[in-house]
DNA sequence: TTGTAGGCGTTATCAG
DNA sequence: CTGATAACGCCTACAA
């Protein structure tokens, strides 16, 4: 007896298959006794319904999918936690799908939608552009969460939740400049990144410009394309190169906390102290940044709130309560312990107040 | 035109459905021209085959599932990476399924097996006991990877890959004792844990006993049951309590690197220096431990090798080349920077060399 | 090389 | 309240 199916259970209980189906799905029109009897039989013969068959037939699976690009990104963990809670609260099922760096998330979404009869989709992270008309093809509501959108003119076509990466990155760079730093190295993503990486770099550029500090190309470190992006290792290697090339700088700004930690280790290994010799800043506001020693100065994205807003927005769309909209959250600069004042010249009044 | 199906494509191309199916699955007996024509039509009408229907019909999906308990555990990340590579190398598909802390992984496995017609399963982490006869019910080969098995007598019933958690934990505790520490606090899992947590605690106990050091209950800190297990936060709070209660100790041994980092932060916040005032050790050998400052002393599990062995074992079982077997890997003690010699008495010659 | 028909396990729509 | 029966989309004999 390899594997029970609904017919077997029906036979065992001496009822029709539809009655079993009703018991399975808590349909109202079934007598409590038969219901109980059937459930009992299922337990005994440890029957497990076949989801493929269910999905094939069902109209509405009450399921929403979350597609995560970058499984290791610790920033997403806290958001996923909230997704689970919120979706469960609505009595929907959640299917969490990891998307590899090289995979096309839209392809994955299309396939999954067919397979699982999804009601909605959350895209978390990723989205390296060229997706315009393909996004239109997605037949269910979706929200882009924590995804940088470079293309400003089509931005309002999609529902999205994020921080203003340019503005937040500006904020951080500005802070470092206020602290007296002029030569700030930035560790960023690969040159072909058209997502948050590019936006954060842009914020850096703007802040420098605003303060009349010339942009030095040798201080802008792009990650190699093949490397595990936004990782500690990446930050480590970028910083090693920086040091090896003898580039002068008083601060490093990494566009993720993980990279910042990698950078910190590279500095320590090279005999530098943080922040006494070199100041260091990250981005995201992950738990790790706070636990690190020294605690990493970072821009905290309100991950939980953003996750909650993402789900709310998605369900508003499901219920037709709203069209696509954008929600932009404000980040918080967390000073940490990794940034010190720098005195560019004796006239500076840094640290006076 | 909501959604194309195989019939639509067949009609469009003026062929039968089976021809389309053959094109889809690279069957040999189909003329290259028709094949090309059909593929073309699929692209144009962006047809995506329905996986539910496929799985329902198919016998063998060439798919293996990896069920991961504890999404945030950074130790698993590197293993998962290897799983992906190795499984792809065998030209199988991988479905990665996250299992919540409170979920029963066997239930999930049973359901998934029916849904996806799995060829094999990897259980990664978890397994809090009472699963004897339920494991037998799983109708496909499976391997328990990095799962502590308390029940020694039935251990050889299952295929498994892991380190000897008791021995490795002994090794670490012994190392700390060699370094002159006598009062070693251990941060471990909840009291009802019957998996790796219990095994690592046992190793600690044995080492103390061996050295004639009495076990002090106040130095054994169990995590609260509801808390996010093995996390930095847990380690932080356990250490805070330890400090608040004024328990005396010269070293802390946390049974995971994350907890060790949490502990470190708690010590620093309390004005202690690591390792000058308090020594600190973790377990797992994650990337984070190496990048932390000070680098955490830990037992490195050979994650990549273990992952590779897991897949090899599973495929050997698939191919009927072997029955269930156990493979035990050796951990490596990584000294890091977080442990210092302790001088229990003036006669000690610690630091002499 | 290609088309037709039956069935995978469920759910939904009808009659009773 | 319950039971037959027709789909759901695809694969696969088998027939042509």
**Beta-carbon contacts below 8 Å between A and B:** 96
- What's the Å distance between residue A16 CA and nucleotide C16 C1'? 14
Q: What is the residue-wise DSSP string for A281-337?
A: E-SB--HHHHHSSSPPBEEEP-HHHHHHHHHHHHHHHHTTS----EEEEPPEEE-TT
DSSP letter at A106? H
Chain-chain contact of B236 with A292 (C-beta, under 8 angstroms): no
Q: What is the residue-wise DSSP string for A148-189?
A: ----GGGGGGSEEEEE-HHHHHHHHHHHHHHTT---EEEEE-
Q: Compute the nearest-CA separation of B47 from chain A (Å).
A: 10
Nearest to A51 among B3, B115, B137 (CB): B115
Angstrom distance (rounded) from CA A114 to CA B112: 18
Nearest to B52 among A49, A115, A292 (CB): A115
DSSP letter at B155? G
For residue A19, give the nucleotide whose C1' atom is nearest its CA.
D2
Residues B72, A261, B84, A193: is their CA dihedral positive or negative? Answer: positive
- Whether this prediction's pTM lies above 0.95 is answered by no
Mutate which: A114, A233, A337, vs B, most B CBs within 10 A? A114
Residues B103-129: tens digit of each pLDDT: 899 999 999 999 998 999 999 998 766
* Section B149-162 average pLDDT: 82
Contacts of B111 in chain A (CB under 8 A): 48, 51
Q: Locate A286 and state its tokens.
A: 């992950």
Contacts of A55 in chain B (CB under 8 A): 52
User: What pLDDT does residue B108 have?
Assistant: 93
Q: Locate B58 and state its tokens.
A: 């198919």
Q: Locate B258 and state its tokens.
A: 């994350």
User: What pLDDT does residue B228 have?
Assistant: 76
Q: Compute the nearest-CA separation of A291 from chain B (Å).
A: 6
Nearest to B50 among A51, A71, A115 (CB): A115
- Tell me which H or E stretch contains B299: strand B298-300
Of all residues in chain B, the one with the smallest CA distance to A113 is B50
**What residues of chain A score a pLDDT lower than 70?**
1-2, 128-130, 150, 226-227, 344-353
Angstrom distance (rounded) from CA A190 to CA A104: 18
Judge if the beta carbon of B29 is closer than 7 A to nucleic acid strand D: no
Give the pLDDT band (50/70/90) at residue B2. Answer: low
Of all residues in chain A, the one with the smallest CA distance to B79 is A72
Q: Compute the nearest-CA separation of A210 from chain B (Å).
A: 35
Q: Which residues touch strand C (CB under 7 A)?
A: A 3, 5-7, 17-18, 21, 24-25, 47-50, 53-54, 56-59; B 10, 14-19, 22, 29-31, 33-35, 53, 56-57
Residues B45-71: tens digit of each pLDDT: 989 999 999 999 987 889 999 999 987
Positions of chain C reached by protein Cβ under 7 A: 1-5, 7-13
Contacts for B19-25: CB closer than 8 Å, 24+ residues apart: B24/B49
- What's the Å distance between residue A283 CA and nucleotide C13 C1'? 56
Contacts of B96 in chain A (CB under 8 A): 98
Of all residues in chain B, the one with the smallest CA distance to A72 is B77
Is B321 a residue whose pLDDT tops 80?
no
* Section B214-243 average pLDDT: 91
Chain A residues touching chain B at CB-CB below 8 Å: 2-3, 46, 48-53, 55-56, 71-72, 74, 77, 80, 84, 96, 98, 100, 110-111, 114-116, 137, 139, 232-233, 236, 261-262, 264-265, 268, 287-288, 290-294
DSSP letter at B325? -
Of all residues in chain A, the one with the smallest CA distance to B74 is A72
B120-124 and B63-69 beta bridge pairing: parallel
Chain-chain contact of A236 with B49 (C-beta, under 8 angstroms): no
User: What pLDDT does residue B238 have?
Assistant: 96
Nearest to A110 among B48, B71, B100 (CB): B48
User: What pLDDT does residue B155 have?
Assistant: 78
Q: Compute the nearest-CA separation of B196 from chain A (Å).
A: 23
User: What pLDDT does residue B107 have?
Assistant: 92
Residues A202-249: tens digit of each pLDDT: 999 999 999 999 999 999 999 887 667 889 999 999 999 999 999 999
Rounded CA Rg of chain A:
26
Angstrom distance (rounded) from CA A165 to CA A147: 10
Nearest to B291 among A2, A3, A265 (CB): A265
CA dihedral A260, A266, A269, A275 (to 10 degrees): -40
User: What pLDDT does residue B102 have?
Assistant: 83
Chain-chain contact of B72 with A72 (C-beta, under 8 angstroms): no
Contacts of B139 in chain A (CB under 8 A): 2-3
Chain-chain contact of A293 with B139 (C-beta, under 8 angstroms): no
Judge if the beta carbon of A50 is closer than 7 A to nucleic acid strand D: no
Judge if the beta carbon of A18 is closer than 7 A to nucleic acid strand D: yes
Judge if the beta carbon of A310 is closer than 7 A to nucleic acid strand D: no
User: What pLDDT does residue A131 have?
Assistant: 72
DSSP letter at B286? -
- What's the Å distance between residue B19 CA and nucleotide D14 C1'? 15
For residue A32, give the nucleotide whose C1' atom is nearest its CA.
D1
- What's the Å distance between residue B16 CA and nucleotide C5 C1'? 12
């Amino acid at each position: 007896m390899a594997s029970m199916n609904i017919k077997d259970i029906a036979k065992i209980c001496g009822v029709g298959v539809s009655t079993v189906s009703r018991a399975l799905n808590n349909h109202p029109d079934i007598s409590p006794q038969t219901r109980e009897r059937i459930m009992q039989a299922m337990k005994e013969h440890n029957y497990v319904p076949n989801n493929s068959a269910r999905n094939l037939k069902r109209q509405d699976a009450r399921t929403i999918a979350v597609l995560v690009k970058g499984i290791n990104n610790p920033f997403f963990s806290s958001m996923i936690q909230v997704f689970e809670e919120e979706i469960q609260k609505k009595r929907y099922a959640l299917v969490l799908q990891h998307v590899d760096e090289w995979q096309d998330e839209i392809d994955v979404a299309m396939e999954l939608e067919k397979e699982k009869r999804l009601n909605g989709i959350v895209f978390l992270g990723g989205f390296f552009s060229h997706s315009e008309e393909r996004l239109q093809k997605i037949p269910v509501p979706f929200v882009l969460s924590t995804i940088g959108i470079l293309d400003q003119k089509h931005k309002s076509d999609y529902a999205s939740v994020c921080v203003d990466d340019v503005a937040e990155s500006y904020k951080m760079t500005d802070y470092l400049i206020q602290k007296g730093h002029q030569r700030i190295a930035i560790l960023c993503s690969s040159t072909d990144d058209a997502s948050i990486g590019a936006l954060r770099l842009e914020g850096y550029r703007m802040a420098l410009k605003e303060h009349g500090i010339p942009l030095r190309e040798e201080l802008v470190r792009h990650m190699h394309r093949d490397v595990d992006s936004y990782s500690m290792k990446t930050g480590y290697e970028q910083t090693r190169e920086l040091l090896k090339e003898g580039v002068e700088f008083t601060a490093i700004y990494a566009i993720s906390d993980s990279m910042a930690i990698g950078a910190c280790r590279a500095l320590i290994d090279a005999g530098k102290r943080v922040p006494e010799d070199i100041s260091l800043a990250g981005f995201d506001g992950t738990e790790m940044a706070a636990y690190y020693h020294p605690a990493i100065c970072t821009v905290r994205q309100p991950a939980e709130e953003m996750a909650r807003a993402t789900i709310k927005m998605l369900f508003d769309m499901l219920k037709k309560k709203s069209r696509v909209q954008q929600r932009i959250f404000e980040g918080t600069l967390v000073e940490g312990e990794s940034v010190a004042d720098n005195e560019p010249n004796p006239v500076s009044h840094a640290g006076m107040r």
